[in-house]
C-alpha cells in the first residue's frame, strides 16, 4: 500500500530532523544540522535493504515516488512564499553582497570538481 512508502519516508524525515537538532544542541548551534541529509541517507539505506529482502513492493514504492514527483511544484510554492520584497528593499549592499557571493561560488564549482577528481579517482580521468 502507498501509505507504507509514505510512512517510511516520513519516519526517515522525522528521525533525520531529530538527529540534526540533537547535533545542533551538541555543538552549541541553535539550528538543525544536516537533518535532511541524514534523512536522505536513512531512506537510501532502508529502501535498499527492504527492496533486497522483497518487503518494499511497487505499490508501497509509489507512496515515496509521488512525493519526489511533486517536488518541483513544491519548490514553486516555496518560491512564491519567499520574502522577495525584503530582498529587493535591502538596497545595494544586500544586492551586491548576495550577487558577488553567488558568482564567486559558481566560478568555484569547476575548480573544486577538478580538485577532487585528481585526488580520489586518478584513473577515471577521461
Partner 1 sequence: MNTIIDVLESVLAKYALVTGFAVIGVTVWISYVLSDRLTKGRLHGSAIAIFIGLVLAYYGGIATGGSKGISDIKALAGVGIMGGAMLRDLAIVATAFGVRMDEFRKTGLSGIVSLFAGVIISFIVGATIAYAFGYRDAVSLTTIGGGAATYIVGPVTGSAIGASSEVIALSVAAGLVKSILVMTLTPFLAKYIGLDNPRSALIFGGLMGTTSGVAGGLAATDPKLVPYGAMTATFYTGLGCLLGPSVIFIAIRALF
Q: Which of residues 54-113 bind partner 1 (CB under 8 A)?
A: 61, 64-68, 70-102, 104-110, 112-113
- Of 116, 126, 6, 125, nearest to 61 by C-alpha is 6
Q: Judged by CB under 8 A, how many residues of this single chain contact partner 1?
A: 82
Minimum CB separation of residue 4 from partner 1 in Å reads 13
Q: Is 60 exposed, middle or buried (0-12, 13-18, 19+ CB in 10 A)?
A: buried
- Of 68, 65, 8, nearest to 42 by C-alpha is 8
Encode 100-117: b = buried (16+ Cβ within 10 Å), e = exposed.
eeeeeeeeeeeeeeeeee
Contact 21, 32 (CB under 8 A): yes
Helix axes 58-69, 2-26, angle to 10 degrees: 60
Rank residues 59 and 99 by Cβ distance to partner 1 and give the closer one. 99
Residues of this chain, 4-33, that bind partner 1 according to CB under 8 A: 9-10, 12-13, 16-17, 20, 23-24, 27-33
Minimum CB separation of residue 46 from partner 1 in Å reads 10
Minimum CB separation of residue 77 from partner 1 in Å reads 3
Rank residues 4 and 16 by Cβ distance to partner 1 and give the closer one. 16
Pick one of 3, 36, 55, 59: the residue that binds partner 1 (CB under 8 A).
Answer: 36
Minimum CB separation of residue 23 from partner 1 in Å reads 7
Amino acid at each position: 500500500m502507498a501509505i507504507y512508502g509514505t510512512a517510511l519516508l516520513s519516519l526517515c524525515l522525522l528521525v533525520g530532523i531529530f538527529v540534526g537538532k540533537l547535533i545542533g544542541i551538541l555543538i552549541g548551534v541553535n539550528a538543525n544540522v544536516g537533518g535532511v541529509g541524514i534523512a536522505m541517507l536513512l531512506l537510501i539505506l532502508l529502501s535498499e535493504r527492504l527492496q533486497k529482502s522483497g518487503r518494499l513492493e511497487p505499490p508501497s514504492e509509489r507512496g515515496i515516488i509521488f512525493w519526489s514527483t511533486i517536488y518541483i511544484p513544491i519548490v514553486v510554492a516555496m518560491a512564491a512564499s519567499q520574502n522577495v520584497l525584503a530582498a529587493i528593499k535591502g538596497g545595494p549592499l544586500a544586492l551586491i553582497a548576495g550577487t558577488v557571493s553567488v558568482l564567486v561560488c559558481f566560478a568555484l564549482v569547476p575548480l573544486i570538481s577538478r580538485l577532487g577528481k585528481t585526488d580520489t579517482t586518478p584513473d577515471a580521468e577521461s
